[in-house]
Amino acid sequence: MERAINFKNRKVRYDLHIHSTVSDGTYSPYEIVEIAKEKELAGISITDHDEFVEDTIAEYAKKMGLIFIPAIEFSTKFINVHIIGYNLNWRNERLQSFLKHQRAERRKAIIKMCEKSKRIGVPVDFDEIIENGQDVKSIGRPHIANILVKKGYVKDVYEAFRKYLYTGGPLFEDYKKYHYKEIIKLIKDAGGISVLAHPGLIHSDIQEIILNECIKYGINGIEVFYPRHSHNQIEKFQSIAQKYELFITGGSDFHGEVKPDIQIGDAGLTDEEFATLCPHISSHCGS
């Protein structure tokens, strides 16, 4: 029998979907750990694009009394269809090759965005991005946004995205992405757990198809708890997860100034919910 969700008394203790300056967030991994501690969370997962955070972050989180779970969010060729891989063997050769290729593709896209910026009168040089983001491994649009702010073309990162960097915007440049079937297999082959991120953001015309096909291709979980999911959507996705015996996850998808309305801990799992999931996504549960 399915249990109804008690929204009123849910206390988020684990935020399993956070982005840092390692990819397209505006806060460093260390700052994220500190914010999570201030918010009295018990654990977090940094899910940057195409790159893991350094091992020292896990050590720092442990020192701060937090469970830390490194993960990667993979985009696919379909808008808002993203797959998060938890508990990946980052030494897996195929995974390493894939990530290296994707980082190179993102880099090429950013270079093209810089070229566009010069043509429309808000010039950003690629070298400026590298100099301005020393801990950047997987370069993304926020790094262009930071330069636009620094040069006074916009007042903040949010305005940079609203005016120039939104999908299809004047500076936007896409890069090659893959089918979710391939991403699910990649995660499986690297020993990880695959989770369909924010299914509520997938266009309603294809949402059911995507959900059904991800289940068919072996997805392990669904991100049920998400700031922009309605109560009805949360109950729907929970029901699907329970029906197909999938893991239930949750997270804020925090990006910092890119999404100023979303904060760390705005969505995630309770202690009870995480206890069921933890042994499957982390080797450090209870440590």
Nearest to 9 by CA among 272, 242, 254: 272
Sheet strands (E) in 33-181: 43-46, 67-75, 82-86
Residue 188 CB contacts under 8 Å (≥ 6 apart), including other chains: 194, 218
Containing structural domain, residue 115: 110-165
In a domain, 143, yes or no: yes
Q: State the pTM of this model.
A: 0.91
Query: What pLDDT, on the 0 to 100 scale, is given for residue 26?
Result: 87
Q: Which residue has the higher pLDDT, 9 or 278?
A: 278
**Residues 235, 236, 238: CA angle, nearest 5 degrees:** 65
Q: Is the dihedral of CA 270, 273, 277, 278 positive or negative?
A: positive
pLDDT-derived band at 140 (thresholds 50, 70, 90) equals: confident
pLDDT tens track for 175-212? 999 999 999 999 999 999 999 999 999 999 999 999 99
In a domain, 4, yes or no: no
In a domain, 130, yes or no: yes
Residue 6 has pLDDT above 80, yes or no: no
Q: What percent of the chain has pLDDT over 90?
A: 77
Residue 243 has pLDDT above 90, yes or no: yes
Query: What average pLDDT does this structure show over 117-137?
Result: 83
As given in the structure block, the two tokens for residue 206 are 């294809």
Split into its structural domains, the chain has a count of: 1
In a domain, 5, yes or no: no
pLDDT tens track for 255-269? 998 888 999 999 999
In a domain, 120, yes or no: yes
Residue 1 has pLDDT above 60, yes or no: no
In a domain, 188, yes or no: no
Helix axes 204-216, 180-189, angle to 10 degrees: 30
Q: What is the CATH number of the domain that holds 158?
A: 1.10.150.650
Query: What average pLDDT does this structure show over 211-219?
Result: 98
Secondary element (H or E) of residue 211: helix 204-216
pLDDT tens track for 42-100? 999 999 998 888 889 999 999 999 999 999 999 999 999 999 999 999 999 999 999 99
In a domain, 152, yes or no: yes
In a domain, 250, yes or no: no
